[in-house]
């Protein structure tokens, strides 16, 4: 135990165990699959305290929703204030200002020297579904190009666009038509080269029938894969040449995590549409599609939307998140955290053979564990062992990767150096143990 981690019981403690028993009786089985066996009572900044009084350092941030930390006081105040006035109308019934304010702020932040307009939704999958709908409507085309190891959600269309069969797709077909999967060109998992990509595309689909290319500028669930130099620029060029819309899925990488508000800003690439969610409203359900205004203006009224989309409480939270990122200089903090994370992890890489790759941008960093550096065979089970050891020693940490052999940082940008260093002491011990199992 250290300055921040405080374990008063074994994990899970008696109260968490009791809740798990109630859960098993009534909650749908596929939902009873939480990373943490400890049930939360309080969350503040990067710390989570469970119902048994155990305090953990949280490196998962609600699967990447907590860039400004758990229960940031400014977000909480905005939510309470909004709740005192009104909770819901449906923006298309009785409109309200908080919706416009979020749209104004997002339009200003999004790259591109053109007018933008913004539509709000509830979650990531809805934003992606709508970006595809919009692309199809304005282009009069059906095709959607996605990538290997992509994750875009769990609805019929977004599950089709997602790569991984188990657990996301197996048994849930038939899938949506006209979705074409192409290689995501990245250094650690070489497939084709950037130059070969367009030729391969044209063997799968006539590009003149493609409405959009949907790409995560840095893949999230796929293991924080950063594209090879020139890849995103090539996609933009190919998209423009064939009249295809380029959609950036910033649902995991956006809202400051990489040191830029949108991760695509690390490249000289301007998408036609950006989808964002997760950290946007600090855990309140809100997502956005930010598009060129000339594109959005071509859709008929009520053709996109939904009863709860752009809820005023969620809008007030998002508005506050955007201001907090500016006021607390969290983009600079994300970059500094990236330097700290990489500094420690690169030194581990020299000591522990199990670490195959350290990669990412800003605070969006991942470790990939392999059994062998030459073959890069995934060390999936040992990754699971590392995560479990961390959990039982007071650190919540998220896995990722198509083979489940990566650890990813989805940490709050509010975490202090002392907190992350304490969490990394626990993580390093777990990595050392896994390394021992690998080499013995």
Binding residues for ligand PLP, per CB under 6 A?
Answer: 123-125, 128, 151-153, 216, 220-221, 249, 251-252, 277
Q: Across-strand partners of 288?
A: 120, 276
Cβ-based neighbour number of residue 49 at 10 Å: 18
As a dihedral over the C-alpha atoms of residue 90, residue 91, residue 94, residue 99, rounded to 10 degrees, the angle is: 130
Nearest Cα to Cα of residue 37 among 388, 295, 314, 276: 388
Task: For 234-379, list the strands marked E by DSSP.
Answer: 245-249, 273-276, 287-292, 355-361, 364-369
- Within its chain, how far is the Cα of 287 from the centroid? 12
Residue nearest to ligand PLP (CB): 124
The contacts of residue 205 (CB under 8 Å, 6+ apart) are 143, 145, 180
Smallest separation, CB 70 to ligand PLP (Å): 18
CA dist 323 and 280 (Å) reads 11
4 vs 147, beta carbon nearer ligand PLP? 147
Q: Across-strand partners of 408?
A: 366, 398
65 vs 334, beta carbon nearer ligand PLP? 65
- 154: tokens are 């769990």
Task: Give alpha helix (H) positions in 175-278.
Answer: 197-204, 231-242
Smallest separation, CB 275 to ligand PLP (Å): 7
CA dist 407 and 425 (Å) reads 15
CA dist 318 and 65 (Å) reads 11
Smallest separation, CB 293 to ligand PLP (Å): 24
Smallest separation, CB 151 to ligand PLP (Å): 5
For residue 408, CA distances in Å to 60, 253, 258, 396, 412 come to 8, 12, 13, 11, 12
- 95: tokens are 């409109």
Smallest separation, CB 123 to ligand PLP (Å): 3
CA dist 425 and 239 (Å) reads 45
284 vs 426, beta carbon nearer ligand PLP? 284
69 vs 222, beta carbon nearer ligand PLP? 222
82 vs 123, beta carbon nearer ligand PLP? 123
Smallest separation, CB 413 to ligand PLP (Å): 17
221 vs 236, beta carbon nearer ligand PLP? 221
146 vs 430, beta carbon nearer ligand PLP? 146
Smallest separation, CB 305 to ligand PLP (Å): 17
55 vs 279, beta carbon nearer ligand PLP? 279
Smallest separation, CB 224 to ligand PLP (Å): 11
């Amino acid at each position: 135990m250290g300055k921040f981690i405080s374990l008063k019981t074994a994990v899970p403690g008696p109260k968490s165990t009791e809740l798990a028993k109630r859960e098993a009786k009534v909650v749908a089985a596929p939902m009873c699959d939480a990373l943490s066996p400890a049930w939360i009572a309080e969350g503040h900044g990067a710390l989570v305290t469970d119902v048994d009084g155990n305090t953990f350092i949280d490196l998962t941030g609600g699967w990447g929703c907590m860039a400004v930390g758990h229960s940031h006081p400014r977000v909480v105040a905005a939510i309470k204030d909004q709740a005192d006035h009104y909770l819901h109308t449906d923006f298309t019934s009785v409109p309200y200002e908080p919706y416009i304010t979020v749209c104004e702020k997002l339009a200003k932040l999004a790259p591109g020297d053109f007018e933008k307009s913004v539509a709000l939704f509830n979650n990531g999958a809805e934003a992606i579904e709508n970006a595809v709908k919009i692309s199809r409507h304005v282009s009069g085309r059906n095709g959607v190009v996605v990538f290997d190891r992509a994750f875009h959600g769990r609805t019929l269309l977004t599950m089709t666009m997602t790569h991984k069969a188990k657990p996301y797709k197996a048994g849930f077909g038939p899938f949506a038509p006209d979705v074409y999967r192409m290689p995501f060109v990245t250094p650690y998992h070489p497939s084709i080269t950037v130059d070969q990509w367009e030729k391969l595309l044209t063997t799968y689909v006539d590009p003149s029938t493609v409405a959009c290319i949907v790409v995560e500028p840095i893949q999230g669930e796929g293991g924080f894969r950063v594209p090879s130099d020139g890849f995103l620029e090539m996609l933009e060029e190919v998209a423009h040449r064939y009249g295809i819309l380029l959609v950036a899925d910033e649902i995991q990488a956006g809202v400051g995590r990489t040191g830029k508000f949108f991760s695509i800003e690390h490249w000289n690439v301007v998408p036609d549409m950006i989808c964002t969610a997760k950290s946007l409203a600090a855990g309140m359900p809100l997502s956005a599609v930010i598009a060129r205004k000339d594109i959005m203006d071509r859709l008929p009224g009520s053709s996109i939307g939904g009863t709860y989309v752009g809820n005023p409480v969620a809008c007030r939270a998002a508005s506050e998140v955007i201001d907090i990122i500016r006021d607390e200089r969290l983009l600079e903090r994300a970059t500094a955290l990236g330097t700290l994370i990489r500094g420690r992890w690169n030194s581990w890489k020299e000591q522990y053979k199990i670490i195959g790759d350290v990669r990412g941008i800003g605070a969006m960093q991942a470790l990939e564990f392999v059994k062998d550096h030459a073959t890069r065979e995934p060390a999936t089970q040992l990754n699971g062992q590392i995560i479990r050891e961390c959990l039982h020693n007071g650190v919540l940490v998220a896995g990722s990767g198509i083979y489940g052999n990566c650890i990813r940082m989805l940490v709050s940008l509010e975490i202090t150096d002392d907190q992350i260093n304490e969490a990394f002491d626990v993580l390093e011990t777990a990595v050392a143990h896994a390394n021992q199992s690998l080499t013995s």
